[in-house]
Amino acid sequence: MIIFRKFFSTPHFQILVLLTASLYIQTANATKIQPVSVFSPGSTAVISIDPVLPKRGEPFTINVTGQWKDNCIPDQDKVTYEVGESDKGYISVETILDRTNDCGDEFEPTTYKLSVKVQGSDWEVFFNSQRAVKIDLVVRDPLYPLPDDRFAGTHWTGEFDLNLGLHAIPPRLGSGYWLSEGTPYQGLLIQQQGNTVVFYELKYNRTSGEPNWHYAAGRFDGNSLNSAAYLINWLSPVDGINPKYGLGLAHPPINKLVQPERQELLFDTSSAGLDVRGVNRIVAFIGLINGVTPVGYEYKRWVFDLDDTQLPPVVPDMVGPWNLYGFNGQNLEQSLQIEFRAGTKIGGDLYSFSSLDDDWVMDCQVNLGGEGSCNLTSEELGLTMNFELDPTTSYEAHYYGTTFNGNYAKAPLVSSSIDEPDQTGILLRAGLHLPVLGLR
């Protein structure tokens, strides 16, 4: 589970115009994220743990798989880990590039694997923590020494819930356009099918002003995705005849675009990734060419031109069957099934979903910027669950994890009965399964 990405094309020129015009209509409240050092653009890394949900006090293994930009891959023999204090909630895995061989100048992706076993006594402090545990991977490069004699390197991060195993549930972003005030006149086009995502970054070159579109595709591992991104550079266009003046007339020819031959295309490769902070808030990272440090920006959904019969894309897609679980620690106390009808607009920013049996109602108050919350209630059962669609701040998203990612919601499940204590409620889309349930 991790992060980075980028893209470009031409039939979508009208889309780019719409994206530009929309910025005069709607401003996305985004925040610039701390840059992440990447000296290996085009390299990828997927972090996972085995078992998916380790039992308290037992060791587990952190595994990393991916491709490096050349044959100087991260060194398995140099892998170490460090566990942060309970209030910081992180496990840092570190290694060094093996540069004993000639790496070469060409981009020749090489598959690599890393693993390290974390002792149970080291991570037990995180058990039952409300915070998500961050697992960081840092690959140091000995060619780039830092002032403290360490090495600069490439850095990825994954989010893991060691209490219930929510890191095994991928997000559901659907499809649409995303904007960020950190990148004016630019945007993202995302298409998701299953757990696989194809996305385009629609940007421009700040020096030349030329369009600069990048393409990337990858699969979600938890709330993160990382892959290689590709910029297609078309070499010089072909001179042609200006049809306005015809043949034989003394007039400068025009440049016309024709289908290029394979040798006329140049693919620049960099790194790309998405980090889902909430169903309406993502962070996109792009690893730039030639080792330039990338910057991640927060993006929010673009809402435009809806009629009264359509729900805005910022309203969660709740239609269909769900399972509601109530946990006490890792003990499953209750399990209920709910199937929602299509949502309706009540008025203003208020939208409502009701269950087929009319036992449940979910009311969601969401503004067009994507901020809001949903309240699930059953008067018959005396149960209530209220969850935020997006964390209020990036700090909350980073240290406490995602509360709703489109496929699950996590919040206290409150009973109206004085004798019933609150439980940890998990609302999970049917067909998905929590790892914790396999422990019973």
- Please name the residues in contact with 28: beta carbons below 8 A apart, sequence gap of 6 or more: 179, 180, 181, 298, 299, 300, 302, 369
Residue 249 makes CB contacts below 8 A (sequence gap 6+) with: none
**Alpha carbon 205 to chain centroid, angstroms:** 24
pLDDT tier at 173, thresholds 50, 70, 90: very high
The whole-number average pLDDT for the span 124-153 is 75
**Model confidence, pTM:** 0.81
pLDDT at 245 over 60: no
The confidence band for 12, taking pLDDT boundaries of 50, 70 and 90, is: very low
Distance CA 75, CA 40 (A): 15
pLDDT at 28 exceeding the cut of 60: no
Say whether pLDDT at 112 is over 90.
yes
The predicted pLDDT at position 34 comes to 35
Query: For residue 122, what are its two tokens?
Result: 């080291």
Local confidence band at 27 (pLDDT 50, 70, 90 cut-offs) = very low
Element (H or E) spanning 144, and its range?
strand 133-145
Query: Average pLDDT over the chain, rounded to whole?
Result: 79
pLDDT, mean of residues 376-392: 91
pLDDT of amino acid 388:
92
Position 343 scores a pLDDT of 94
Section 168-197 average pLDDT: 90
For the chain, residues classed under CATH 2.40.128 are: 320-439
415 forms bridges with which residues in the sheet?
Answer: 383
Per-residue model confidence (pLDDT) at position 13: 35
pLDDT for position 94: 93
**Mean pLDDT, rounded, for 396-413:** 83
| Confidence check: pLDDT of 11 > 90 | no
- Higher pLDDT, residue 220 or 32: 220
As given in the structure block, the two tokens for residue 18 are 């719409």
Best CA proximity match to 188, nearest among 167, 220, 215: 215
The predicted model gives 23-42 an average pLDDT of 43
Determine the average pLDDT of the residues in 284-295: 60
Q: Is the pLDDT of residue 247 over 70?
A: no
Contact 30, 182 (CB under 8 A): yes
Secondary-structure class of domain 320-439 per CATH: mainly beta
Per-residue pLDDT tens over the stretch 256-272: 555 556 555 667 788 88
Q: Taking residues 53-77, report their average pLDDT.
A: 91
| Alpha carbon distance 274, 291 (integer Å) | 19
pLDDT digits (tens, 9 = 90+) for 351-361: 999 999 999 99
pLDDT level of residue 4 (50, 70, 90 thresholds): very low
